Structure 1
């Protein structure tokens, strides 16, 4: 039984650490190993965050993970405990499971094939399309798709898969697609837990025919998975090929972003790691489609169906094995095998409930995200901000009760001390908000980096009624401006739930404007 791909870095480091006798060298190797493990953990956490975003916003984001199950566990005929009775034929009909797990509703879609198709990009894309078709509502999908894949160049991490994602965006079935991959050798995830449920159920039950196998799988988990016998794989690879540009080194990045730019062209950007700050290439010059008369060329119509091919030699061996296993099969089971082996293509089509229509013919443009709704009143927001500010600042510890009373009296009378006091004592930290003077302008934004005395902000602007939003460029990125730390005027934790400045910051900004005037 093939084993899951192991991480070469982990194997080499583990071997080197076990053999190293010099303590300093061993410590260096341990540092390298921790760095490697921390990097893979960050990628896993980024996947969990995308999954959580989809669970919280199912009308805006569809998150899917696609993978294949280990071979041989579902080969037919199957006997519980994976222990074949003595004297039966040892040759089995090979099966293969391709699963797609949707995170918002926990629904699992599984395509079962009999190895009559190549396990390549066409199969993976057919599984994805099958899932999108099932998850659509009135023929429409959420605006964003997050798809997690298993870092296999043959099946998904190639220009054909990326190209088809770009096609879906170009045709506006989706607004934006995020493809992400865990590190090789560290790809065991939630979908593999579902596959383990399949294995456990098969360990407890016989499945001597294909209908029996489908029934066992359907009863393996809750919510119940949807099992489909595969009869159609679309040859998307050859359909796209004449329209795709050559791209190289696409196997290195771990995140791809495909979106529609303001000029109507599909753009493809990538990050080597989810923790990288900037998308590459920053100029957006990575072309996925060839151009004709200055316009991106995409295929018309729909692809051909890939040919279904059963190996005659394999079928002959299975027939001989079933003949030897007649004593452990019921009459109905033996008749199923006789009928199937006489005409495997016809019987596969008969068993399947998969649609033979081109999936995209039944899909329309994505549905826009619903407007944001808040139930918190401005008064509640101001009260929360005031209490949090008081919680952060605390009270000064003094020796004199009179001194404290004097300060209270001063505040009551409105005659504040003359000493300068910042509007907020929140530290200038990444993720916090700040007001900074750059080239004479007062810039409000979120801190994204601090390095060598330079601070960078994602710029926010007042879009009306005191509501602040990020300033978006034509390529979809947020505008970033930088300046020296000495130019920071104020800092604060965050905007209110209504995306407005906290009251103390609004007052501070007004004072700054009055001073400038």
Structure 2
């Protein structure tokens, strides 16, 4: 989603906050709902007294799981979806290097020592403009960008600065708590689950998925017996030649356009950093950049090694895909992209 927003902003001028919201809405299908939040609940203040302890290392894992175990909410984590959940169970801890506190018991980490009441509505976060040098920004916008701004944008910025104090105002107290409404809604759905209306299209997709799951791709060979190769073969992929400076083609389901090509910036045992390139099957390929402040920086993402489908190839002198590489990639993407 964020790559789509970035792509739309590269070709669309967003002079005001309203322009930005409009651009974000139109950058994705189905359209993204954008709203300007003027009040934010102080959830930190509300939940802090109930937290079991200081969290550490939680920026590294990519997957988290929360479950209710014996009346307590416990958390498990793992770096990748193919790895087992941590912490390990006590039964398995003897064969593992991972250590667990006894307070964690055997099914995860306890996040909350007590449960906050949903009847206690959090207060509002009190907005403050102290860290924003309003006068400096008021001068900077017209002086640096005034000659580029259309009249409506100039008027919008004038109105913003003239009424900026209103952003420090919040209602006296919150009268509703959306979290309680969500919990009540979920409880009601459990009691009376809605009827599922399966359309013809949905039924067809389910049948295709079931066929894929039930498809038997096993094929045993002994010597020359059963020489035919299976359609899908589990192989161990050697990523040793995927090195910094080489071109790589990847498959990221989050990005709808293919091919997805870039240059390897760096790598480790599980991931690599890719500097994205933009182009089409038959067009010139150019490195992508993003604007940070007044400087352009290479657009670099981190990908898992398993997302790489072809690497260690070069473009032509005209910075296009070679015919052989193009044919290989088309075949690979055709086998990966779900129609």
State the TM bucket, normalised to the shorter chain: 0.3 to 0.5
The structure that is helix-richer by fraction is 1
Q: TM-score, normalised by structure 2?
A: 0.42
Q: Return the index of the structure with the highest Cα Rg.
A: 1
